[in-house]
Amino acid sequence: MLIDYDLVRSNRSSIGIIVERDGSIIVNAPQDLEVDEIEKHVYKKRLWLWEKLAIKKEHNDKVTQKKFISGESFFYLGRSYRLEIIDEDVPLKLKNGWFLLGKKYQNKANEHFKNWYSEHLRLKINDRLFLITQKLNIEVPMFRIMELGFRWGSCTKDGILNFNWKIAMAPIGVIDYIIIHELVHLKIHTHNELFWREVQRTIPNYLEKKKWLKDNGQDLLFLKEWFEVAILRCL
């Protein structure tokens, strides 16, 4: 069985292998290491990789698609709200503990949910980003709300932060962790020891938030059947 992977070169001193949530494999290797040596290392890890891939496939197969019918539940900021289909001309709104959606919009409910989550997440991140950067005494970077597939956030070479609109469903503490994670990436691009020390300095209980994403992240990906999902790196 061949093992396909994406090779990323960096100034690191050893080889690191990451199995992403979508089943893609990232191999991080030193700049000057020969390809043959990298292939040998990946081959030695083949049993571990196959086991990890099997686990990822099992988890992804369990992701269920939501139905846009009255009584279905949807998360926002870590809380669950029921959906009610109503006769009024309402694209989508959250009122009195219920998501309300007009019957005429039901056939495009996926788009309305994505737009609603994106708009509300933009406002929330704008507020949280301001507070966090004030605490860190750094400038507020530009950010975008996007479709990022299996990745919760990312940052560009130009210093722009990208956030997956699906994280609007996560608790605010988890959203803070994702924001801080990407802020630290602006100056430390790899997940090395220095990176995690910097994250911990800013959010001491980050392991708790990281574990929440590991345990509950699949629930945020129930929308995977709604849109094309690109194979992208996750946190």
Whether residue 217 sits in one domain with residue 117: yes
What count of Cα atoms within 13 Å lies in the side-chain half-sphere of residue 215?
A: 7
228 pLDDT more than 60:
no
Does residue 162 lie within any of the structural domains?
yes
Does residue 129 lie within any of the structural domains?
yes
Does residue 93 lie within any of the structural domains?
no
Average pLDDT, the chain: 85
Q: What is the pLDDT of residue 59?
A: 61
The residue ranking higher by pLDDT, 67 or 89, is 89
Residue 34: domain span: 6-61
CATH of the domain at 210: 3.30.2010.10
Burial class of residue 137 in the structure, from the number of CB atoms within 10 Å of its CB (0-12 exposed, 13-18 middle, 19+ buried): exposed
pLDDT in tens, 87-145: 999 899 999 999 999 999 999 999 999 999 999 999 999 999 999 999 999 999 999 99
Q: How far apart are CA 163 and CA 119, in angstroms?
A: 12
Whether residue 198 sits in one domain with residue 116: yes
Query: Are 223 and 147 spatial neighbours (Cβ–Cβ below 8 Å)?
Result: no
Q: What is the pLDDT of residue 100?
A: 97
Q: What is the pLDDT of residue 57?
A: 66
Q: What's the pTM value of the predicted model, to 2 decimals?
A: 0.73
Closest listed residue to residue 62, CA positions, set 221, 183, 229, 176: 221
Share of the chain above pLDDT 70, in %: 87
Q: State the sign of the Cα–Cα–Cα–Cα dihedral 16, 177, 57, 20.
A: negative
Closest listed residue to residue 104, CA positions, set 84, 83, 89: 89
pLDDT in tens, 23-57: 678 888 898 898 889 888 888 888 888 887 777 66
Q: How far apart are CA 125 and CA 146, in angstroms?
A: 13
In one-letter notation, the amino acid at residue 149 is G
Q: Which of 61, 80, 102 is the last residue of a domain?
A: 61
Domain count, the chain: 2
Q: Which of 41, 61, 81 is the last residue of a domain?
A: 61
Whether residue 118 sits in one domain with residue 211: yes
Whether residue 123 sits in one domain with residue 38: no
Does residue 90 lie within any of the structural domains?
no
Q: What is the pLDDT of residue 77?
A: 96
Whether residue 54 sits in one domain with residue 130: no
Q: What is the pLDDT of residue 46?
A: 85
Query: Are 98 and 83 spatial neighbours (Cβ–Cβ below 8 Å)?
Result: yes
Does residue 171 lie within any of the structural domains?
yes
Whether residue 210 sits in one domain with residue 118: yes
Does residue 12 lie within any of the structural domains?
yes
Does residue 84 lie within any of the structural domains?
no
pLDDT in tens, 160-213: 999 999 999 999 999 999 999 999 999 888 788 888 999 999 999 999 999 898
229 pLDDT more than 50:
no
In one-letter notation, the amino acid at residue 230 is A
Does residue 102 lie within any of the structural domains?
no
Whether residue 37 sits in one domain with residue 142: no
Q: What is the pLDDT of residue 177?
A: 96
Whether residue 197 sits in one domain with residue 128: yes
